[in-house]
A = this chain, B = another copy of it.
Amino acid sequence: MLTQDKQQRNWKPVIKALEAVLGKNGVVQRREELITYECDGLTSYRQRPALVVLPRTTEQVAEVVKICNKYSVPFLARGSGTGLSGGALPVEDSVLIVTSLMRQILNVDLDNQRIVVQPGVINSWVTQTVSGAGFYYAPDPSSQIICSIGGNVAENSGGVHCLKYGVTTNHVLGLKIVTAEGEIVDLGGQIPEMPGYDLTGIFVGSEGTLGIATEITLRILKSAESICVLLADFTSIEDAGATVSDIISAGIIPGGMEMMDNFSINAVEDVVATNCYPRDATAILLIEIDGLEVEVAGNKQRITEICHKNNARSVTSATDLETRLKLWKGRKAAFAAAGHLSPDYYVQDGVIPRTQLPYVLHEIRMLSEQYGYRIANVFHAGDGNLHPLILYDRSIPGALEQVEELGSKILKLCVKVGGSISGEHGIGQEKKCYMPEMFSATDLETMQWVRQVFNPKGLANPEKIFPTPRTCGEAANKATDKQFEGVERF
C-alpha cells in the first residue's frame, strides 16, 4: 500500500526497479514498518522515509543508488540508528538504505593487523572476532554493542579509548565506496599512508554526503599486556581539571581519562548502583592505563602522585577484569541513568582546549542556574570533549526550545575558547546551523565544492552538515549561493 506522498511522486517504477535488484523482501514500503526508521538517536527530529531498502552487497547498493539517480530520489544510509546528531534522519520522499543485512566479516589478516568488514557489522563484533588472537579494535563509542562500523565511519566516532588511540579516522585504512552516482570506488588501501590525496580521510566523517561505504578495512591493535583503572575522588572541579592537564603535561597518555561531576555520580549510583563511586565527591576521574606490566605499574604510581598533588581525597585502583568493568559500568550507563532521572534529556557534544576545562565547567554551571535546568557533566576529559546532559521535560510547553537555546549557548562557549561544536557525534541535522560559528563563508564554500565533486546532484544525504537557507546565517547562504549558482540545491 502506497502512502499519499508516494502516490504524488509516482513511486511505482522506482519500487519495481528496486524490487528487481533486492527482491520483494528487500524493499520496505508499509507505513507501519517505516515508522521504525523515522529518526535515529536524535529523537527530537522525525521524518518518515518513502522507502527502506535492505541490500546485502556492494553491487546491490550501487544498483539502488543508480535507480535513485535515475528517478532523482534522495537517498541516505543508516546503520543501527544510534547516531546523536541526526545524520541518518531521512529527508522527505527519500530512500533509506539500511545496512543491517550487510554484516559479514570479509577478511581477517592478523599478520598485518587488518580486518575488512561490511558496514552493518556491529562495532564490538570486530574486537570479538580478533580478541581470541590477542587483538582489538580501539574506537569504542558508548553504544559499541549496537552501533555499526558504517555509522562509525560516517560520523568519525570516538569513545573512551580515543584519547590514546585516536578516533575512527585513525583506524580506517581503506574503503570501498559507492559514490553518489552509483560508481564503485576504492579509497585508501591496506597500508596507513597512501600517495595521492587522502580521500579516505575526507570520506570518514562526511556523514553520508559523499557516498556510502560498503567495505571497510580497519586497523586492529594488539591487546595490552596489562590494564589498570584508577578512580580519583576530588572535592573541586578545578582540582580534577588541573589533574587532567598535569597528567598529559607529564608526558603520560592514559588509555582513557573520563570525568563525572557530582550530579552524574549520584544519578549513576541511584540507577545502576556500582557502589564504587563516592557520592559526596564534587568530581571523579576514571583513568585507564594500559601497556606492559612495568609500564602500567610506573604510570599508576606517577598518576597517583599527580592526583594527590592536586588534592585528590583518595585514589583507588583495579587491575582484575571484574572490578575494572564495575568501575566503567557507571560511566557507560551515565546517559541511560539520566533518562531514569528525568522524562527527557538532551546530550551536547562539544570540544574545548583542555586548559579551559575549569572555566567552561564554571560557565556551564552558571548557564544551568540561569535557565533553571539541571545539567550533568560526563565527559572525555583527556580530549576536552564535553558531554553536558541537560535534563528536562518535553511535555512542558516551551521546554524543548529553552533547552535547545541553552545547548546552543554551551556550543558557542566551546567555540569562543578555541574549541569545536562537535567532538564525536557529528553535525548531521542538529548542528548544521552552528557551522558558521566555526567556519568562515570561504571555509564552508570550500567544503561544499568538495561535496559537489562527490555528490553533484545533491541526492546523497541532503540537508545535512551544511546550513541551508532555511536554518543558517547570511554568511553560509552567501557561500553556498556564490558557488552553486544554477546548480540544483539538494
Q: Which A residues contact B (CB, under 8 angstroms)?
A: 111-113, 134, 156, 158, 167, 169-170, 179, 183-187, 189-191, 193-199, 201-202, 204-206, 210, 221-225, 245, 248-252, 291-295, 297-299, 302, 351, 353-355, 384, 418-424, 426-427, 431, 435, 438-440, 442-444, 446-447, 449-454, 465
- Residues of B contacting A451 with CB < 8 Å? 197
- Cβ-closest chain B residue relative to A355: B111
Q: Distance (Å) between the CB of A422 and the closest chain B CB?
A: 4
- Cβ-closest chain B residue relative to A195: B422
Question: Quick check: A195 and B426 within 8 Å, CB to CB?
Answer: yes
Given contacts A191-B351, A384-B191, contact A205 B199 (CB under 8 A): no
Question: Quick check: B191 and A353 within 8 Å, CB to CB?
Answer: yes
- Residues of B contacting A250 with CB < 8 Å? 222
- Cβ-closest chain B residue relative to A353: B112
Question: Quick check: A112 and B355 within 8 Å, CB to CB?
Answer: yes
A420 CA to B444 CA, complexed, in Å? 33
A187 CA to B449 CA, complexed, in Å? 14
Determine which of B196, B197, B251, B435 lies in contact with A195 in the assembled complex, contact meaning CB atoms within 8 Å: B435
Question: Quick check: B298 and A302 within 8 Å, CB to CB?
Answer: no
- Residues of B contacting A444 with CB < 8 Å? 196
Question: Quick check: B195 and A420 within 8 Å, CB to CB?
Answer: yes
Question: Quick check: A193 and B158 within 8 Å, CB to CB?
Answer: yes
- Which of A190, A245, A302, A421 has most B Cβ within 10 Å? A190
Determine which of B292, B423, B435 lies in contact with A302 in the assembled complex, contact meaning CB atoms within 8 Å: B292
Question: Quick check: A423 and B193 within 8 Å, CB to CB?
Answer: yes
A250 CA to B135 CA, complexed, in Å? 10
Question: Quick check: A465 and B196 within 8 Å, CB to CB?
Answer: yes
Can you report 24 residue pairs joining A to B where beta carbons are below 8 Å apart? A111-B354, A111-B355, A169-B193, A184-B442, A187-B443, A187-B446, A190-B418, A191-B351, A191-B353, A191-B418, A193-B205, A195-B422, A198-B205, A199-B447, A223-B251, A224-B251, A291-B295, A294-B295, A294-B297, A295-B295, A295-B298, A446-B454, A449-B453, A453-B453
